[in-house]
Structures are given as C-alpha cells and as structure tokens.
Amino acid sequence: MSNDVKQQDNGRRDTAVVPPVDVIEDATGITLFADLPGVGKEQLQLRVEAETLTIEGEVGVATPEGLQPSHAEVSVPRYRRVFTLSKELDPDRIAAELNHGVLNLRIPKAEHAQPRKVQIRVG
C-alpha cells in the first residue's frame, strides 16, 4: 500500500510543463530566456551535469483557503526543460537572473572558442 503511494508520488513529480524559451547566439555566447511565471528565486533550480543544462521550477502561488478551481489552463505547478550544451560553451561562467517570472541565462563561450579571424593566404 505504502509502496503504491510512493510510486504515485514519483509519477506526479515527473509531470511538468515545458516552458517556452528564446535562445539567441552572438559572437561571445548564448542568451536564453525562459517564461516561468509563479516561480520565485527559492523555487528555481538550475543544474549543469556534464553537458546537460536542466531548468526546473515550482510554481509558488499563494491561494486563499477553500479555493474551488473552476477553470485551469496551468494545471501542473512545475516547469522543467533540459538542454544539451555544446563543448565550446563554458558552463562554469553561466550567469542567471530571474525577473517577473522570466529567467535570463547567459552562457559565455570558452576563451579558446572566442571568435578569431582566419587569415587566408593565397599562394
């Protein structure tokens, strides 16, 4: 019985909304914006393992007691999205900012991957 409950709990933990993102690349790195409405600084989790970046957040909206939902377009109070980074990016220098439910990540390129003009010799 308790086993069943545990499994159900795990199943619920796995369902999450995939948040919409914008990803922009320029010469020195990548900028990522993600819409995470309802997620505060304490409920946001950013993890980099090997080359995988995981963005995870819990919706922490305060609801009054005895609230009966009548219409719900956001039914899962959790966001999750996973990206694979490429090797020229520097995961140690990721900068993150959370403002009004929008996460702004800046992932710079590693020094050795910065742009360099290649000289072409005509011989």
Q: Is the CB of 100 or the CB of 121 nearer to another protein?
A: 100
Among 1, 5, 50, 72, binds another protein (CB under 8 A): 72
What values do phi and psi take at 2, rounded to 5? -65, -30
Q: CB-based contacts of 81: which residues, under 8 Å, 6+ apart?
A: 18, 19, 21, 34, 54, 55
115 binds another protein (CB under 8 A): no
102 binds another protein (CB under 8 A): yes
Taking CB under 8 A as the criterion, which residues in 1-30 touch another protein? 20-27
How far is CA 91 from each of CA 3, 17, 32, 81, rounded to the nearest angstrom? 38, 25, 13, 17
In whole angstroms, how close is the CB of 121 to another protein at the nearest point? 27
In whole angstroms, how close is the CB of 123 to another protein at the nearest point? 31
In whole angstroms, how close is the CB of 43 to another protein at the nearest point? 9
Q: Is the CB of 3 or the CB of 84 nearer to another protein?
A: 84
Q: Which burial class, exposed, middle or buried, applies to 29 when counting CB atoms under 10 A from its CB (0-12, 13-18, 19+)?
A: buried
Reference 34, options 82, 92, 89; nearest CA is 82
Residues in the site for another protein, rule: CB under 8 A? 20-27, 33, 35-40, 60-61, 63-74, 99-102
